[in-house]
A and B are shown apart, each in its own frame.
Chain A
């Protein structure tokens, strides 16, 4: 072996003890190469599915209306539970290990100081907690009969405001001011902090009940729709070939079916429910996310770290999970939150138009406050749910963008 003017090469020296420790000590033949691709996740997922099926069968056999507490379960609730199983298996379980906990800690550290994201997440957590309470307790709005007069207390204004005395049908709980009967104003009281609607339902109850669609939209999107879109997109982008062609052709077909038409057909023949909405607008709207994921995967597949991982013998599922997926969260996370917001708004819009997807949802309450004579006189009936809806949707969008930044370690030095 000759070398003209290359760098001087030391004659082969016996390795020092240090080098031995670093390079020689591992006796690979005694190490079992265990490919632990998604071990615990899959176990938990399979167990969850079995458990869900068992609960479903048990519930069917008892013929009870309620599953737990006062939760009257319909098809959308089983979808919700399926989403919870997926979320626990693939969202929570990987965070339990040491590495997962470290990641969570890092993300939590990056969250500090991002008050907008924190506030958004706080709002969402609050709304979701309230919605969970509403679902589990089977909450119904209570009629209000505080005054001695017969019948519920209709159109009581919120505390600190006043409304027309005539709208309450001379049944005001608070003080009444003004002379002529037509001019009299009814003042709000703490009995009904946000007032009541035309049936005499408390606005607070209506707002709480109206939050249920948010829970369904969030959990089903995160637990079913986005995992499905991600799986399809990643598989199509990473493996390519005929599989890619078939999957993407299907996505094209699906994208060309207008969800609203499907919803209306289902509305006519199946009936109306949150389940129909989730299927029509949710399970048929993941094509866009799948396309984004696919194109991102196509880029990531060519990255050096994917190639390096293949050189060291990493399996494809491992590469997808550890190298491809974490690097496409930049697009998945905002798209997910956007889809949730769109679903919440769609539900509100349909309920507003009179398709009462989720009874007494925010959209329906807004419509009830508006579709009457002199809607502005009883503004609180439509404005409060509208404000809550707006805050929720804004929180989803802001949280999505904020989380994307938080999940990306490159944002540390901004």
Chain B
């Protein structure tokens, strides 16, 4: 394995403009991929994991230049992919291939499978039809199907067989890099492991580097050497699979790993649930750390030191007010639902209801005075004033500063130089999280 990685992606950006009208005036931007970096060494498999909509697939398409990236750099085998001329791009298209998720649409229904697998050879100019046919049949046998499958039409094959054939089409040019975008998520259990096994065999035998894009943490754990966890267009954590997925450092990775159902019914969740399952609007992403509206470990600002639950309650109230406070209806609902714990109180005041609903503190004096003013403002109907009050008093550094990738070493892990773990979270930046006692993982275990 040479020093230089086969594929090196640095600060990759893909922004889609939102335009309006005939003159295409730009009214907004979707930051589908916004500063993604990762490396892939020769023959290695790297997992790109994250929720749907986090930009995994766009990253793949941008790396392959099926979508033109709007920023960043992609280096393939030491060459700058984004500055390829036509001839170099053509050579790149021989060496980097893509396998798609949906085996139903992967093949042109009007072509035989053989014609489809032969197509890369024909496009890249292999003139001899007999030789093409020979290569095609050979490749089909490599993926575990009989050679005469070449004469069948796509609809005559099952989903798993089609995915094998799609793999054959990707391999027929003998690529160095294979990007597999959710290659097995459309398949059922047994077919899935069959295709995965094939992928692993192909990788080891032909020394192909594989980028496996998946939302399935378990799949990445089983298949990949290294992993990059993506959230809303950014990589939040990357490193060796056994480090990142067994001992996640970023709160998002923790929740992602936690979301995999355990076979042990007595297992207790070790990290708290996300505050909301709702993803922010793609056209209006949160400032600072993109994960902060959902993060269970938002850092408290300097001068505030509330117990964890109460701090989460305060932030929850704040985000609720900032985003979707529907005035009267919300207020009434709050009075009805929020007051249930204190039913004995005959006349539940707005303040008690609010405090109950959001689990708000009464301890810390600085926090309390700010909170009190905000609640009073809200009660008197001044939403703006309440928002401002809370924003001034409880603004977390997570909302203001975008976290940079930092090298993190957790005790007892097998990190070597080759598998440095990088995490983009303020908890690991001592300048910012100085008020906090420790990393989020410890934070949770202590409660």
A15 to B174, CA, bound (A): 12
Instruction: Please determine whether B120 and A327 come into contact, CB atoms closer than 8 angstroms.
Output: no
Q: B204 in the interface, Cβ–Cβ < 8 Å?
A: yes
**Which of B205, B241, B414 interacts with A10 by CB under 8 Å?**
B205
Decide: B222 and A409 in contact? CB cutoff 8 A.
no
- Residue on A with the closest CB to B103? A304
- Please tell me the number of chain A residues within 8 Å of chain B, measured between CB atoms: 51
Q: A2-B414, A18-B138, A304-B100 are in contact. Are A23 and B106 (CB under 8 A)?
A: no
Instruction: Decide: A312 and B126 in contact? CB cutoff 8 A.
Output: no
User: Once bound together, how far apart are the Cα atoms of A242 and B206, in whole Å?
Assistant: 45
Does B75 sit at the interface, judged by CB under 8 A? no
B229 within 8 A of A: no
Does B211 touch A at the CB level, under 8 Å? no
A314 to B116, CA, bound (A): 12
Smallest beta-carbon distance B124→chain A, Å: 6
Q: Quick one: given A1-B41, A5-B221, A24-B174, are A308 and B106 in contact (CB under 8 Å)?
A: yes
Interfacial chain A residues near B91, Cβ < 8 Å: 28
Give Cα distance in the complex from A305 to B96, angstroms: 16
Instruction: Say which residue of A12, A31, A311, A408 sits within 8 Å of B204 (CB atoms).
Output: A12
Instruction: State how many angstroms separate the Cβ of A23 from the closest Cβ of chain B.
Output: 4
Q: A13-B205, A26-B135 are in contact. Are A6 and B24 (CB under 8 A)?
A: no
CB–CB A304/B105 < 8 A: yes
Q: Which of B22, B89, B115 contacts A245 (CB 8 A)?
A: B22
User: Bound state CA distance, A310 and B98, in angstroms?
Assistant: 10
Tell yes or no: B110 within 8 A of A by CB: yes
Give chain A nearest CB distance to B447 CB in angstroms.
Answer: 29
Of the candidates B123, B135, B155, B418, the one whose C-beta lies within 8 Å of that of A312 is: B123
A2 touches B155 (CB 8 A): no
Known: A10-B204, A31-B126, A33-B124. A3 touches B225 (CB 8 A): yes
Contact with B along A14-33 (1 / 0, CB 8 A): 01001101111010100111
Would you list which residues of chain B between 81 and 112 have a CB under 8 Å from chain A?
89-91, 93-94, 96-98, 100-102, 104-111
- What does the 1/0 interface line of B220-235 toward A look like (CB < 8 Å)? 0111110000000000
* Of B124, B134, B206, B242, the contact of A21 (CB 8 Å cutoff): B134
Report the Cα distance A9→B169, complex, angstroms: 23
The yes or no answer to A323 lying at the interface (CB within 8 A) is yes
Is the C-beta of B166 less than 8 angstroms from some C-beta in chain A?
yes
A312 touches B93 (CB 8 A): yes
Does chain A have a CB within 8 A of B207? yes
Inter-chain CA distance A3–B414, complex, in Å, is: 12
- Asked if residues A242 and B108 are in contact (CB atoms below 8 Å), the reply is no
Residues of B with C-beta under 8 A to A28: 91, 94, 124
B223 contact from A6, A326, A327, A408, Cβ within 8 A: A6
Q: Does B26 contact A (CB under 8 A)?
A: no
Contacts of A311 in B (CB 8 A): 64, 66, 93, 96-98, 170
Query: Contact: A310 with B200, CB < 8 Å?
Result: no
| Complex alpha-carbon distance, A308 and B129, angstroms | 21
Contact assessment for A2 and B125 in the assembled complex, using a CB-CB cutoff below 8 Å? no
Are B106's CB and A312's CB within 8 A? no
Q: How far is the CB of B147 from chain A (nearest CB, A)?
A: 11
Within B119-165, which residues are at the interface with A (CB < 8 Å)? 119-121, 123-127, 129, 134-135, 138-139, 142, 153, 155
Q: Are A31 and B125 in contact (CB under 8 A)?
A: yes
Instruction: For B140, give the chain A residue with the smallest CB separation.
Output: A22
B123 touches A310 (CB 8 A): no
Q: B155, A305: Cβ atoms under 8 Å?
A: no
User: Given known contacts A10-B204, A10-B205, A312-B97, is B155 in contact with A409 (CB within 8 Å)?
Assistant: yes
Q: Which of B44, B110, B142 contacts A327 (CB 8 A)?
A: B110
Q: Which of A12, A304, A313 contacts B123 (CB 8 A)?
A: A313
Bound Cα distance A242, B155 (Å):
36
| Centre residue among A3, A98, A310, A318 by max chain B CB count within 10 A | A3
Cβ–Cβ < 8 Å partners of A31 in chain B: 124-127
- How near does chain B come to A333, taking the closest CB pair, in angstroms? 13
CB distance from B8 to the nearest CB of A (A): 17
Is B354's CB within 8 Å of the partner chain A?
no
Is A409 a contact partner of B419 (Cβ separation < 8 A)? no
A257 to B98, CA, bound (A): 47
Asked if A21 and B106 sit within 8 Å, CB to CB, the answer is no
Contact with A5, one of B104, B207, B222 (Cβ below 8 angstroms)? B222
> Which residues of B are found within 8 Å of A305, using beta-carbon distances?
105-108, 116
- Determine how close the nearest CB of chain B comes to the CB of A329; give it in whole angstroms: 8
B108 CB contacts on chain A under 8 angstroms = 303, 305, 322-323, 326-327
Residues of chain A contacted by B41 (CB below 8 angstroms): 1
Nearest CB to that of A26 among chain B residues? B126
Q: Which residue of A lies closest to B110 (CB)?
A: A326
Contact with A2, one of B89, B107, B170, B419 (Cβ below 8 angstroms): B419
Chain A contacts for B104, CB-based, 8 A: 304
Instruction: Report the minimal beta-carbon distance from B293 to chain A, rounded to whole angstroms.
Output: 31
State the Cβ distance, B213 to closest chain A Cβ, in Å. 14
Given the known interface contacts A23-B171, A33-B124, A314-B123, the answer about A9 and B106 at a Cβ–Cβ threshold of 8 Å is: no
Evaluate contact between B94 and A7: CB separation under 8 angstroms: no
Q: Which residue of B lies closest to A16 (CB)?
A: B205
9 example contacts (A-B, Cβ-Cβ < 8 A) are as follows A5-B222, A6-B224, A19-B205, A304-B101, A304-B105, A304-B166, A313-B89, A313-B90, A314-B119
Q: A304-B102, A305-B105 are in contact. List 16 more A-B contacts (CB 8 A).
A: A3-B225, A6-B223, A7-B197, A9-B200, A10-B204, A28-B91, A31-B124, A33-B90, A99-B115, A303-B108, A313-B89, A313-B123, A323-B108, A409-B110, A410-B153, A412-B153
Q: Which 6 A-B pairs have the closest CB atoms?
A: A313-B93, A22-B138, A304-B105, A23-B174, A7-B200, A326-B110
